[in-house]
């Protein structure tokens, strides 16, 4: 109902609904990922697996995963930044990050992500953009594929 309360007035005004976008794909840490990354078994957070070129995360220099491993017989990438908080709110799993962006952030906001990078905490400021629509995705991916 909170989302409806935000969206309906925008639609009534005839405007497009914007969604705050970070520009990553990621996964919730678990003991198997932690082991492969040399992290404590109980480390919580969101592993940044991939950063979309031209996205807010890319502009803030977030680092995606670079190392290929096998976990439970499945290929997986590890080694990227781990997001452990957004604006001081703990990020224990991917849903924590998504819910924060949905309920507490809007396009143009600057948020502070606390990352675990190379074994140290680091704060990074990211200015959120509007999530691309289908035609914009096509341009983003075409640009990404043409880059070395």
In the structure, what pLDDT confidence band is assigned to residue 48 with cuts at 50, 70 and 90?
very high
In the structure, what pLDDT confidence band is assigned to residue 7 with cuts at 50, 70 and 90?
very low
Stretch 102-119: mean pLDDT: 93
Q: What percent of the chain has pLDDT over 70?
A: 76
pTM to 2 decimal places? 0.81
The larger pLDDT score, comparing residue 127 to residue 135, is at 127
Backbone angle region of 45, left / alpha / beta, with phi > 0 → left and psi within -120 to 50 → alpha = left
Q: Are 53 and 44 in contact (CB under 8 A)?
A: no
Full DSSP string of the chain: -HHHHHHHHHHHTTPPP--EE--EEEEE--HHHHHHHT--TT--SEEEEEE-TTSHHHHTT-----EEEEETTEEEEE-S-EEEEETTEE--SHHHHHHHHHHH--TT-EEEEEEEETTEEEEEEEE-EEPP-HHHHHHHHHHHHH--
What does the alpha-carbon distance between residue 74 and residue 59 come to, in Å, rounded to a whole number?
31
Stretch 123-135: mean pLDDT: 84
The reported pLDDT for the residue numbered 136 is 52
């Amino acid at each position: 109902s909170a989302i409806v309360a935000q969206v309906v007035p925008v639609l009534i005004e005839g405007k497009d609904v914007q969604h705050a976008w970070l520009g990553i794909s990621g996964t919730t840490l678990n003991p198997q990922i932690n082991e492969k990354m040399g992290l404590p078994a109980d480390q919580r957070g969101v592993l940044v697996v991939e950063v979309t070129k031209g996205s807010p995360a890319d502009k803030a220099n977030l680092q995606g995963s670079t190392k290929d491993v096998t976990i439970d017989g499945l290929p997986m990438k590890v080694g990227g930044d781990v997001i452990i908080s957004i604006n001081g709110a703990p990020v224990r799993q991917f849903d924590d990050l998504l819910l924060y962006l949905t309920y507490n952030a809007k396009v143009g906001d600057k948020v502070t992500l606390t990352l675990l990078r190379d074994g140290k905490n680091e704060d990074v400021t990211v200015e959120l953009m509007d999530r691309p629509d289908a035609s914009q995705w096509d341009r983003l991916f075409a640009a990404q594929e043409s880059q070395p």
